[in-house]
Amino acid sequence: KTESTQTCFDCICTSFVKFFVFLFFLVTFPISGFFCLKIAHQYERIIIYRLGRLIPIKGPGVVLVLPCIDHWKKVDMRTKAFNVPPSKLCTSDGCIISIGAIVHFSIQDPRLMSLSVQNMNHSIRDASQGCMMNLLCKKTYNDIKTKRQGLSYDLQVDINQSAKEWGLAVSRVELSDITLIMAPQNKTPAFMPMYGAPPPPETGDAFTGSGVDNFGGIAQFATQLFAQVANAQSQQANDAEPPTSSTMDNLLRVLKTAVNEELVQEVDTLYQFNITGIQDGNFFADLRTGSGVVGLGVCSESPDVTFSLSMSTLQKIIAGSVTPYNAYIGGQLHMDGDTDKAMKLEKVVKDIK
C-alpha cells in the first residue's frame, strides 16, 4: 500500500517538475536552446537520467536535455582499444610469466552498459585478466609463445562472453608483453646453491637466449661467482666470521685469479659490483683491454653492467639459504645495464672452471 502511494507521489512530482522545466525552456527559448540542445554524431548516443530515471537512449541527431533535472552523458559507440596491463600467472609447467593484452571492444547496448558498469576500463581489465588466468594457467609456457594466435581467439570468445552482461562486445584480443619471470625450479639446476663445479647449462633450452628471459643467464653467472667466493671462504675455514672487508678481499682474490687475456678478448665488458650497506663496498672488473683489471671502488668510466646487493644477501647466498635467482626475484639483488653482456661473462666463467 505505502509503496503504491510512494510511486504515485513520485509520479506526480516528476510530471509537475518536468512541466515547469519544459515551460521554462520554452519561455527562454532562443537562449535555452543554446544550452539544452545537444548534437550526437552518427557514432554517438546520449544517455539521460531524468530525475534519477534512465530514459530511452537518444541520438544520433539533435537531443533535448532539460536543465537542472537531466544528468546526461555522451558515449562513443566506436571500437576502442584497451591496454590490459601485464599480470602474473603460473603456467601448467610451473613457469611464472607476466602477460598483458590489447582488447578491442565497443559498446553494444548503451542502456545496459550505463546501468551495470561504473568504470568500463576497470571492468574490461578485470574480466580480461580473469579470463587470461583461467585459460593460460592450463597451458605450458611454450604453448603460449607458439600458439598466440589461437589463444588470442579463445580469449576473445571468453571475454566477449563476460562482457556481454555489461552491454559490451569484444571484437579482438591480442596477447602482448609475454615475459618469463621464473622458470620452473627443477629445470634450472644452476640456480641451486652449490659449492662444487656447476653443472653445464643446458644449451638450446627454451629458457635461455630468447631475449625476453635473459635473466636465467645472469642468475647462472651470479651463482657461479658466489660459488667461487664460497669456495675461497671455506678454504680459509672462517665461515663463522662476521662480514668484514676481508670478504671483499676474498672476492677480489677469486676474481683476480679468474681474469686473463683470453677472457678479456671474449668478454670485452666493464662490470661494476655494488655491495650495499658496508663502507666502500664497491669493486669493478674491467675486462676490456690487456689481461683485465680488477679493483676496489668505482671504476672511472660508466660500467656496462652493475650488480647491487647487500652483504647480508651475499652471506645468505654463500650460506645457500637463498639462491641468487630468488634474491633477484625478491628484489635483494639488482642488475643494471646490458643483459647480453652479463650473459657473456656467465659463459666465460663456466669455461674457466
Ligand X SMILES: *[C@@H]1O[C@H](CO)[C@@H](O)[C@H](O)[C@H]1NC(C)=O
Residues that bind ligand X (CB under 6 A): 82-83, 119, 121, 160, 164, 169, 171, 274, 282, 298, 306, 308, 336
Compare residues 141 and 273 and give the one whose CB is closer to ligand X.
273
**Residue written as grid cell 536535455:** 65
Give the Cβ contact number of residue 168 at 10 Å. 25
- Specify whether the CB–CB gap between 229 and 194 falls below 8 A: no
* 269-276 and 305-310 strand pairing: parallel
CB of 144 to ligand X, least distance (A): 22
Least distance CB 298 / ligand X (angstroms): 5
Q: Which helix (H) or strand (E) holds 305?
A: strand 305-310
Of 175 and 180, the one with the shorter C-beta distance to ligand X is 175
Enumerate residues 6+ apart whose C-beta is below 8 A from 190.
198, 199, 201, 219, 220, 223, 224
In the complex, minimum distance from the CB of residue 108 to ligand X, in angstroms, rounded to a whole number: 7
Burial class (CB in 10 A: 0-12, 13-18, 19+), 27: exposed
Give me 170's grid cell: 569484444
Handedness of CA 134, 137, 142, 145 (dihedral sign): positive
Q: Considering beta carbons, is residue 145 or 172 the nearer one to ligand X?
A: 172
| Least Å from the CB of residue 101 to ligand X | 12
Minimum Å gap between C-beta 83 and ligand X is 6
Task: Decide whether 223 or 306 has the Cβ nearer to ligand X.
Answer: 306
Q: Which is nearer to ligand X, 162 or 326 (CB)?
A: 162
Name the phi and psi angles at 319, rounded to 5: -75, -10
Q: Which CB, 112 or 232, lies closer to ligand X?
A: 112
One-letter amino acid at 114 equals: S
Question: Please, what is the minimum distance in Å from the beta carbon of residue 29 to ligand X?
Answer: 35
